[in-house]
Amino acid sequence: MTNLIERLQSYMRRSAVSRYEAIPVPPFTVFIHPFDALIYLNYAIPDGPILGDVREPLRRLRAEFQKKGRVPRFEYVSELAPALADTLLAAGFRQEAEARLMVCTRESFTPVAVPEGPVLSVLTSGSPREEVRTFCTTARRGFSPDEPYEATEEDVSKMLEDLREGRAVLGRVEGQPAMVGMFTPPSEGIAELGGVATIERFRKRGLGTALTSRVAQEAFERGVEVLFLSTISEEAGRIYERVGFRFVTRMLFMVEGSHPEGAMLPVPG
């Protein structure tokens, strides 16, 4: 199990390097989204177990976040850096959330049928830009329902890059965008299921379960061996369990204490 957990954390680092600006601040690496300051798109990951005094690295880490106009924040598998949480708390961070890290394999995958009514569309790098724009806008509104938002050209271009190897699924109800999800480009047989969100008025209908199932199906058909996700919601965890995801360990999300709000991941619906 430890080997699997280490593989998952290594994948997270590789994936972040491919998508974000990576700034080494040993024993950490800071990952900065190229144009979006949304809090959960900018974070640091420890390079390994934390030993010794890290006050100076944390000072430099904070400076890098501030230089980019971002909030200092960490996302990491807690058992691989067990002393880090206390170190960060003492340095003025606070625990934003504790997430369940869950995995699904071809063997554990349990397909769920799409209920009558919704239509699911698979997006690739060859999909029309307007369809990808709708996906990006729906995803953001699912995560931040009170934020007025329309996807930009940069959002669309970045998503199309991710879709060269990954896939996304957009669900509509009566023609209206309702839910989204995707899996990230695979590496060494691993991919992450992320961005699963349902617009508020379409929640509590089982749509998120069907969409998660379709994303997982697409991943396994394209050679993924282990699909993982993280969720801070017990309700969402039960939804993912229906599709065959199983708990393996926990992740911590730590944010600078002066920031009033943390990232809140939506329930899939």
Is residue 81 a part of any domain in this protein? yes
Is residue 262 a part of any domain in this protein? no
pLDDT tens per residue across span 82-116: 999 999 999 999 999 999 999 999 999 999 988 88
pLDDT tens per residue across span 4-51: 999 999 999 999 998 899 999 999 999 999 988 989 899 999 999 998
pLDDT tier at 257, thresholds 50, 70, 90: confident
Check whether 200 has a pLDDT greater than 70: yes
Residues 53-60: what's their mean pLDDT?
A: 96
Structural domain including 91 reads: 2-101+250-256
Domain count for the chain, please give it. 2
Residues 200 and 72 in one domain: no
pLDDT tens per residue across span 135-184: 999 988 877 767 777 889 999 999 999 999 999 999 999 999 999 999 99
Check whether 186 has a pLDDT greater than 50: yes
Q: Domain with 228 in it: what CATH number?
A: 3.40.630.30
What pTM does this model have?
0.87
Residues 36 and 97 in one domain: yes
The sign of the dihedral angle between the CA atoms of 264, 265, 266, 267 is negative
Residues 126 and 240 in one domain: yes
Closest C-alpha to 51, from 77, 24, 18, 28: 28
Residues 209-213: what's their mean pLDDT?
A: 93
Q: What amino acid is encoded at 51 in this protein?
A: L
Is residue 268 a part of any domain in this protein? no
Is residue 266 a part of any domain in this protein? no
Residues 118 and 212 in one domain: yes
Residues 157 and 211 in one domain: yes
Residues 129 and 236 in one domain: yes
Check whether 63 has a pLDDT greater than 60: yes
Long-range contacts at 8-12 (CB < 8 A, ≥ 24 apart): 8/77, 8/101, 8/103, 8/190, 8/226, 8/228, 8/248, 9/45, 9/76, 9/77, 9/80, 11/187, 11/188, 11/190, 11/191, 11/192, 11/228, 12/45, 12/75, 12/77, 12/192
Residues 242 and 116 in one domain: yes
Is residue 67 a part of any domain in this protein? yes
The sign of the dihedral angle between the CA atoms of 76, 80, 81, 85 is positive
| pLDDT at 269 (0 to 100) | 54
